[in-house]
Amino acid sequence: DAKTTQPPSMDCAEGRAANLPCNHSTISGNEYVYWYRQIHSQGPQYIIHGLKNNETNEMASLIITEDRKSSTLILPHATLRDTAVYYCIVRPHYNQGGKLIFGQGTELSVKP
């Protein structure tokens, strides 16, 4: 079973920030938080991952709470092309396992 909880759907206005929450209250100390997204009929696309510090790359920012029980993926300026299903996944570090088990994700709709 997936170890994360996400809202099934969210809407966001184009040009605004999209904040996607994820609860992972049972996360272990050796598990990272990963975010992927899947645009319709395509393979998932890696977005970002983190352990306990906030992370930022060219696609998004990841904010992880101090207790690591939840996180938020931030798309700073959402575009129509960001419409997709976003998956939050917790996964051990490589040498302690490594499968990605997908939950139901959040279907983000970016509207004009």
Partner 1 sequence: GAVVSQHPSRVICKSGTSVKIECRSLDFQATTMFWYRQFPKQSLMLMATSNEGSKATYEQGVEKDKFLINHASLTLSTLTVTSAHPEDSSFYICSARDASGNTIYFGEGSWLTVV
**Amino acid at the residue 63:** I
- The piece of 17-25, 61-69, 70-78, 100-108 that touches partner 1 (CB under 8 A) is 100-108
Judged by CB under 8 A, the stretch of 7-15, 21-29, 70-78, 96-104 that binds partner 1 is 96-104
What secondary structure, in 3-state letters, does 66-79 show? CCCCEEEEEECCCC
- Do residues 85 and 108 make contact, with C-beta atoms less than 8 angstroms apart? yes
DSSP state of 40: T
Which token pair is 98? 């490594």
Closer of 3 and 49 to partner 1 (Cβ):
49
CB of 30 to partner 1, least distance (A): 13
> Using CB under 8 A, which residues numbered 16 to 45 contact partner 1?
32, 36, 38, 41-45
Q: How far is the CB of 67 from partner 1 (least distance, A)?
A: 23
3-state secondary structure of 58: coil
